Amino acid sequence: MNSSIDPHFALVVKKDCETCRLIESILPILLGKYAGTLRVYVQDDPEFPGNVDDRIDDTQLAFSYQHDIEVVPTLIRFHDDEEVARIFGWDREQWRQFLKIPDLGESLPVFKPGCGSKTRDPGMEAILSVKYGNTGRNTRKVDIADTEDIMEACYERGWTDGLPVVPPTPVRVASMLAATHRQADEVIGDIPPDYAPCTIEKAAINAVLAGCKPEYFQVVLAAIAGALQEPFCLHGLLCTTYFSSPVIIVNGPAARKIGMNSGINAFGQGNRANATIGRSLQLLVQNVGGGRPGGIDRATLGTPGKYSFCFSEDESDSDWPSLAMDRGYQRNESVVSLFAGSGVQPVMDQQSRTPQSLARSLAASLRTVSHTKVFMQTDALLVLSPEHRRVFRQGGWSKSEVKAAIYEALLTPGAELVRGAQGIAEGALEQFGDKQLNKFREDGLHILTAGGTAGFFSAIIPGWVASGERGSQLVSQLINNN
Amino acid sequence: MSTTLLDPTSERQPATRQLNDRLTTLTGKTIGLLDISKPRGKEFLDEVEKQLGDQGARVMRYSKPTFTRVAPTELSQQISIECDAVIEGLAD
């Protein structure tokens, strides 16, 4: 048996298919007419079909993969080694015309559908693409001896963030790459601080390391693209002595489709999509970009959010615009936003039942972002819980009214804020002493909603002390479907 | 037997650059001072300039727009043309 000659006809079958067994009886007729030019490829049992001498063992599925067989039986006609037509399943009239045998299969039923090709069995696509695909990949392969502990091997090579990673086997990476139509060797951009080119494949490998499922990959790619937007200032952010690191917020149908958590414990552990999407960006910056704590990353203290800080927004209230809508997107668009966040600052207010009181309450807490006397330096996210949002809704306040009230409550005479005021050396420059100052620049406070339905607790995610054009700004990126 | 993994890193060795010869004297040399725009950077570099001047160096002052981003390429090129050495620094 050999498959070195392309036949004029190729018939692909498997024994574990009733339709393939049905047509077994007519095969001698086909071979009688097309002797030497029809090859039969079998996907499972090399002894099937028993009445065909010239059958080819395709149990390794090479021919089936190369010819993209979806259904068995499939009958392909070639001309000069190029495929010109194919039929599949059993349709008596179709087979008669295709093979020009007018009375073929007289005793057989008129029609019987085929079965799935073995190349379509679960997980086979990734395995076969690694084995036979022309993937355009040229990533270095690292061989880990079986005597080595594979998890330790990943640690020893510096690939982890301190927690174990998922070993990036070719099959796992192929499965991740199958989630996009983009080519594996397409360059997404250059990752700081080394400005190393990052291909779709390198992104896939780090997504595998992080523990992502392939269905998260489009969100990961959007997060990377967002992080590389110039206003986000990724290079400065990863170097800073301050606490900040990328916080990823996902809006739109994609978040629900992959089961992200916008409810109970939204910032915390327990949801694979939340945990691994955030983690993949951090691992990419470390592994591809070369940004490591103690190296270029000089954070004084950092935050646990540097392992991963990613969540989706609660969009259940159709009267409340989402973060993405504030940024100009439609509610039905899937968007990822990135913010240089510095941890979580809890805000408790269990007493306010009027929007006025709650807005002042939130403003009082927002005053402490980075420092109570430092104004216009640091952006912030305000994440309202459902119970707090209800206070505003019942009070008839829109999101923009909430924001306006907060800004008004934070307006402060510069004299109280200048360096030395209140016996505190830190503070605003003397030149602002006679001005009224806003805590946040105009685009410096973003309001969104998340969290469980119980709890009069909202959260501030303070930003980076270099916010705005001189540092980092919140950026948004559409999530592609290709 | 072994398991194959795909390398998640950039696979790049950092470029090995030839270091310029170190200055053996400051006398007659032009030293650039690049202020990264942190608070009180000017005060700090004013003092550095004075001390360099006392040792016979000529000093040129530069600054980059923000400490959060690398210096613009043109600035780096200008410094490399105009100076024999550069000190880049901050205060805080």
- B14 pLDDT more than 70: no
Mean predicted confidence (pLDDT) in A444-472:
96
Mean pLDDT taken over chain A: 94
Mean predicted confidence (pLDDT) in A111-121:
96
Beta strand ranges found along A18-138 (DSSP E): 38-42, 55-57, 71-72, 74-79, 82-88, 90-91, 111-112, 115-116
Domain ranges of chain A: 9-119, 122-323+333-339, 343-462
- Position A1 scores a pLDDT of 44
- Position A349 scores a pLDDT of 98
- Position A136 scores a pLDDT of 55
**Which H or E run includes B89?**
strand B85-89
The dotted CATH code for A9-119 is 3.40.30.10
Asked whether residue B20 is domain-assigned, the answer is no
- Position A132 scores a pLDDT of 86
Mean predicted confidence (pLDDT) in B61-88:
93
Asked whether residue B12 is domain-assigned, the answer is no
Q: Which residues of B touch A233 (CB under 8 A)?
A: 68-69
10 Å CB burial of residue A48 (0-12, 13-18, 19+) is buried
Which of A170, A202, A235 is nearest residue B4 as measured by Cβ atoms? A170
10 Å CB burial of residue A34 (0-12, 13-18, 19+) is middle
Contact A43, A59 (CB under 8 A): yes
Question: What DSSP character marks residue A342?
Answer: -
Asked whether residue B71 is domain-assigned, the answer is yes
Residue % of chain B over a pLDDT of 70: 96
CB contact under 8 A, A283 and B10: no
- Position B16 scores a pLDDT of 72
- Position A130 scores a pLDDT of 86
Sole residue written with tokens 């951090």: A282
Closest CA to A245 of A298, A179, A188, A313: A298
Hey, what CATH topology would domain A343-462 get?
hypothetical protein PF0899 fold (3.30.2320)
Tokens of B4: 């194959």
Mean predicted confidence (pLDDT) in A277-286:
97
- B8 pLDDT more than 50: yes
Q: Domain residues for B58?
A: 30-89
- A454 pLDDT more than 70: yes
Asked whether residue B78 is domain-assigned, the answer is yes
Q: Among A47-51, A78-82, A214-218, B23-27, which stretch is predicted with the lowest mean pLDDT?
A: A78-82
Task: Tell me how many domains chain B contains.
Answer: 1
- A175 pLDDT more than 70: yes
Asked whether residue B42 is domain-assigned, the answer is yes
Q: Among A28-42, A131-145, A347-361, A429-443, which stretch is predicted with the lowest mean pLDDT?
A: A131-145
- Position A4 scores a pLDDT of 47
Contacts of A402 (CB under 8 A, 6+ apart): A355, A359, A392, A447
Residue % of chain A over a pLDDT of 70: 98
- Position B19 scores a pLDDT of 84
CB contact under 8 A, A471 and B1: no
- A6 pLDDT more than 70: no
Mean predicted confidence (pLDDT) in A289-315:
93
- A73 pLDDT more than 60: yes
Residues of A with CB under 8 A from a CB of B: 139-146, 150, 153-154, 159, 167-170, 173, 191, 194, 196-198, 201-202, 205-206, 209, 233, 235-237, 240, 283, 287-290, 466, 470-472
CB-CB neighbours of A138 under 10 Å: 11
Beta strand ranges found along A179-318 (DSSP E): 187-191, 196-199, 245-251, 310-312
Asked whether residue B25 is domain-assigned, the answer is no
Highest mean pLDDT: which range of A29-33, A63-67, A218-222, A238-242: A218-222
- Position A134 scores a pLDDT of 63
Mean predicted confidence (pLDDT) in A238-262:
96
- A202 pLDDT more than 90: yes
- B12 pLDDT more than 90: no
